Amino acid sequence: MCIDPSVARVGYVNNQRKLFMAEENRRLDARDLITIGVFSAVIVVLIFVGGVFFAINPVLTFWTPAACALLPGPAFLLLAAKVRKRGVIAICGLVVGLVVFVTGMFWGIAVGYVVLGALGDAIASSGGYGSFARNAVAYILFSLSFCISFIVFFTNRSYWLSSMASSSADEAYFETMIAAAREWILPVMIAGTVLSALLSALVGRRLLKRQFEKAGIVS
């Protein structure tokens, strides 16, 4: 292996093109899986950094999904552009969902990342991961996972509370949250999340065009 990563990649392709071309184009190999892992770490951290200040406050908590959607867009698009194989976004969603589950958030969010990630992957792969519109739709779906918790909160509140309020002393948080909940919040929250995700994807497109394509990180 060469030390310079750009040289290493060219050498790898030239040396093994005849052998691995067919397989390499279709299936995720170890390099892709590692790339997914690294970018998932970035995405997880950006989701948490964006959302944490909203999640801790019961009035602002309704804007957590939009805040979580705002930051990871560029990382998400760069991951899709770098790997470009079926399953990238689905596996990223699986990893993020696992983290969300382990950190004790509402289980619907974790399921959302897995299901919507797979759905987004199908859409993005139909454009060969090269269409900005399809990648952006995939990112918007991915970001909407966080809304699921609140969709359940508004449609089946008793169930949501029973699965969240583990100890009775936590009630003040949820009482304030219920007092702050209005009917109009849910549609506005979903629309806000979509807009925020779209904005993040647009910033990502700009960065990809202006910086990463020039630097040879993606082609």
Binding site for other proteins (CB under 8 A): 1, 5, 8-9, 28-31, 33-42, 44-45, 49, 55-58, 74-75, 78, 82, 87, 91-92, 94-95, 98-99, 102-104, 163, 166-170, 172-173, 176, 203, 206-207, 210-212, 215, 217
CA pair distance 200, 214, nearest whole angstrom: 20
> CB atoms < 10 A from the CB of 167, how many?
6
Give the residue with the Cβ less far from other proteins, 96 or 187.
96
Task: Please provide the distance, in angstroms rounded to a whole number, between the alpha carbons at the two ends of the chain.
Answer: 22
Give the residue with the Cβ less far from other proteins, 90 or 187.
90
Give the residue with the Cβ less far from other proteins, 34 or 187.
34
CA pair distance 94, 89, nearest whole angstrom: 8
CB of 215 to other proteins, least distance (A): 7
| Structure-derived torsion over alpha carbons of residues 123, 129, 133, 134, reported in degrees to the nearest 10 | 0
Give the residue with the Cβ less far from other proteins, 122 or 187.
122
Q: Tokens 């052998």 identify what position?
A: 19
CB of 22 to other proteins, least distance (A): 16
